């Protein structure tokens, strides 16, 4: 069981508690594509039933693997499929087996859990002013043999330019690296997958659940240098991804119209949301480029505001228990204009 202090997105639990249908709760607490899963995915899932349930998953998934490799300039030996980006994070750490992992904080809360789960120590690098300054990130000074970085970062939304991050990585040749690119589909040009495919002890994680709005299906993928990818596959159980997930992933990746509509809508929706939030007194909007916005409340408690919004069927991500943040912060997913207006209006009534 995990609680709201660890993750957002507890839509079903909130609906039960408020005696509402899940469809009438608006979730700004998880960073999911507000367009919902592509129609092409729903059609593919429907078409795959009941056969997908009646046989073990086709884990070789040749068409999906080919598509992912083509899309990232990689080869099959680099690719590992898994039960979501989070599962692959745990797997990557077990495969790399580091002793001390440098971890910018605040961070996605599964990250320190995964490091500890692999028997390693999470060495915190607190983000001054909630910004990652690569010049100050010094694994050697902290006796770390690995680093776990996230780009764009969760929860700050900071996007590091690919070249700056690549320069930093190349300046640390012996270091094992896990780079979590769960939100990189919004900025594919800043991905380091292709540049790092052959770097030893390197894993880059990608998620399909956020950009394609389907977190109920657990499917993600990672690219690693061939030795690490092989070790990850060795450590995986026999059927790491279900057949419905494989079918959904392939249909999603083929749907290039959905991907470009998402990127176009995201640019406009994020700009509108940021401007509307910044225009309200008592709210500071932190700069970012992710499909969520981190805000600081200058005069109110985040927990109290989140509680009042929840009564109106609006979920936002509280940060009171989030190491490195605190009760003044809230994280809000970028949704479409109608949903934004509903939230903003409710916030105006509550602040």
Ligand X SMILES: Cc1ncc(COP(=O)(O)O)c(C=O)c1O
Q: Binding residues for ligand X, per CB under 6 A?
A: 84-86, 108, 150, 154, 180, 182, 207, 209, 215, 220
**Helix 110-117 vs helix 85-96: angle between axes, to the nearest 10 degrees?**
30
What is the rounded distance in angstroms from the CA atom of residue 267 to the CA atom of residue 49?
A: 36
- Residue 151 or 340: the one with the smaller Cβ distance to ligand X is 151
- Least Å distance, CB 279 to ligand X, is 27
Nearest distance, CB of residue 207 and ligand X, angstroms: 3
- Residue 204's alpha-carbon distances to 48, 50, 77, 180, in angstroms, are 30, 34, 14, 6
Q: State the nearest-atom distance from the C-beta of 51 to ligand X, in Å.
A: 25
Is 146 within 8 Å of 199 (Cβ atoms)?
no
Nearer Cβ to ligand X, position 108 or 168? Answer: 108
Looking at the Cβ atoms of 180 and 269, the one nearer to ligand X is 180
Question: In the complex, what is the shortest distance from the CB of residue 183 to ligand X, in angstroms, rounded to a whole number?
Answer: 7
Rounded Cα distance, 229 and 253, in Å: 22
Question: Which residue's beta carbon is nearest to the bound ligand X?
Answer: 84
* Backbone dihedral region for residue 264 (phi beyond 0: left; psi -120 to 50: alpha; all else: beta): alpha
CA atoms within 13 A on the CB side of 269: 24
Q: Which is nearer to ligand X, 292 or 346 (CB)?
A: 292
Nearest CB to ligand X, comparing residues 220 and 240: 220
- Of residues 180 and 327, the one with the C-beta less far from ligand X: 180
Spatial distance between the Cα atoms of 210 and 215, rounded to a whole number of angstroms: 7
Nearest distance from C-beta of residue 313 to ligand X, angstroms: 22
Q: Could you give the CA distance from residue 102 to residue 316 in angstroms, rounded to a whole number?
A: 29
User: Least distance in Å: CB of 340 to ligand X?
Assistant: 21
Q: Judge whether 33 and 262 are in contact, CB under 8 Å.
A: yes
Geometric angle at alpha carbon 57, from 54 and 60, rounded to 5° = 145
């Amino acid at each position: 069981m995990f609680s709201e202090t660890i993750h957002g997105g507890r839509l079903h639990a909130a609906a039960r508690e408020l005696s509402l249908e899940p469809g009438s709760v608006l979730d700004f607490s998880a960073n999911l594509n507000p367009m919902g899963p592509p129609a092409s995915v729903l059609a593919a899932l429907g078409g795959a039933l009941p056969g997908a349930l009646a046989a073990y998953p086709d884990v070789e998934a040749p068409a999906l693997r080919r598509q992912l490799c083509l899309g990232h300039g990689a080869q099959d030996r680099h690719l590992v499929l898994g039960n979501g980006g989070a599962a692959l994070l745990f797997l990557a750490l077990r495969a790399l087996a580091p002793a001390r992992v440098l971890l910018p904080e605040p961070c996605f809360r599964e990250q320190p859990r995964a490091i500890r789960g692999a028997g390693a120590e999470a060495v915190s690098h607190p983000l001054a002013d909630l910004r990652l300054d690569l010049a100050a990130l010094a694994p050697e000074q902290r006796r770390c043999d690995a680093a776990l970085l996230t780009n764009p970062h969760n929860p700050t939304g900071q996007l590091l330019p690919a070249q700056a991050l690549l320069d930093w990585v190349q300046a640390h040749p012996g270091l094992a690296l896990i780079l979590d690119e769960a939100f990189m589909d919004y900025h594919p040009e800043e991905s380091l997958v292709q540049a790092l495919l052959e770097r030893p002890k390197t894993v880059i994680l990608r998620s399909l659940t956020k950009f394609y709005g389907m977190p109920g299906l657990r499917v993600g993928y990672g690219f690693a240098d061939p030795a690490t990818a092989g070790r990850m596959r060795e450590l995986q159980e026999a059927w790491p991804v279900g057949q419905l997930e494989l079918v959904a992933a392939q249909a999603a990746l083929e749907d290039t119209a959905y991907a470009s509509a998402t990127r176009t809508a995201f640019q406009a929706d994020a700009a509108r949301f940021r401007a509307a939030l910044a225009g309200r007194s008592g709210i500071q909007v932190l700069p970012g480029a992710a499909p969520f916005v981190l805000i600081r409340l200058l005069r109110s408690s985040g927990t109290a505001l989140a509680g009042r919004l929840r009564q109106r069927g609006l979920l936002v991500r509280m940060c009171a228990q989030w190491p490195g943040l605190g009760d003044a912060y809230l994280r809000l997913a970028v949704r479409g204009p109608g949903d934004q207006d509903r939230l903003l209006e409710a916030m105006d009534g509550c602040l």
